[in-house]
Amino acid sequence: MQASINHPAIVEPGGVIGVLGGGQLGRMLAMAAAQLGLKTHSYCPDTPCPAEDVSAVFTHASYTDEPALAAFAASVDVITYEFENVPAETVAFLTSIGATVRPGAKALEKAQDRLFEKDFINALGAATADYHAVDDLASLEEGLNRIGRPAILKTRRLGYDGKGQTTLTDKDEDLPEAFQKAIAFAWDEIGAAPSILEAFVPFEREISIIGARSAGGEVQLYDPAENVHRSGILKTSSAPARVTPETARKARSVTSAILAALDYVGVIGVEFFVLKNGDVVINEFAPRVHNSGHWTTDACAVSQFEQHIRAVAGWPLGDPARHSDAVMENLIGDEVNAWRELASAPDACIHLYGKRQARAGRKMGHVTRLKRSA
Query: According to DSSP H, which parts of 245-365 are helical?
Result: 245-261, 296-299, 304-313, 339-344
Residue 189: the pLDDT is: 47
Q: Which residues are CB-neighbours of 214 under 8 A, at least 6 positions away?
A: 265, 310, 311, 314, 316, 317
Q: What's the whole-model pTM score?
A: 0.93
Query: What is the block-wise mean pLDDT of the chain (374 residues), using blocks of 10 residues?
Result: 76 98 97 98 94 97 97 98 92 96 94 95 97 88 91 79 71 68 55 78 97 97 97 95 98 98 98 98 97 98 98 98 97 97 94 94 96 73
Residue 50: the pLDDT is: 96
- Region of residue 271 (left: phi > 0; alpha: psi -120 to 50; beta: else): beta
Angstrom distances, CA of residue 188 to CA of 103, 130, 147, 194: 28, 27, 28, 13
Q: Collapse the DSSP code of 16 into the 3-class scheme (helix H, G, I; strand E, B; otherwise coil) and give the result.
A: strand
Residue 1: the pLDDT is: 43
* Domains of the chain by start residue, with CATH: 16-101 (3.40.50.20), 130-199 (3.30.1490.20), 205-372 (3.30.470.20)
Query: According to DSSP H, which parts of 192-348 are helical?
Result: 245-261, 296-299, 304-313, 339-344
Residue 2: the pLDDT is: 57
Residue 159: the pLDDT is: 60
Cα angle 232, 63, 215 (rounded to 5 degrees) comes to 80
Residues 300/321, Cβ–Cβ less than 8 Å = yes
Cis peptide before 48 (omega within 30 of 0): yes
Residue 239: the pLDDT is: 98
Report the distance separating Cα 314 and Cα 38, nearest Å. Answer: 12
For residue 274, the cross-strand partners are 205, 280
Burial class (CB in 10 A: 0-12, 13-18, 19+), 191: exposed
Number of Cβ within a 10 Å radius of residue 87: 14
Which of 83, 65, 53, 85 lies closest to 2 in space, CA to CA?
65
Report the distance separating Cα 212 and Cα 303, nearest Å. Answer: 11
Number of Cβ within a 10 Å radius of residue 11: 24
Residues 325/239, Cβ–Cβ less than 8 Å = yes
Residue 44: the pLDDT is: 96
Report the distance separating Cα 68 and Cα 132, nearest Å. Answer: 40
DSSP code of residue 370: E
Residues 17/39, Cβ–Cβ less than 8 Å = yes
Residue 181: the pLDDT is: 67
Residue 153: the pLDDT is: 87
Report the distance separating Cα 14 and Cα 76, nearest Å. Answer: 11
Which of 299, 300, 369 lies closest to 341 in space, CA to CA?
369
Q: Which residues are CB-neighbours of 182 under 8 A, at least 6 positions away?
A: 153, 154, 155, 164, 165, 166, 195
What is the dihedral angle through the alpha carbons of 165, 170, 171, 172, rounded to the nearest 10 degrees?
40
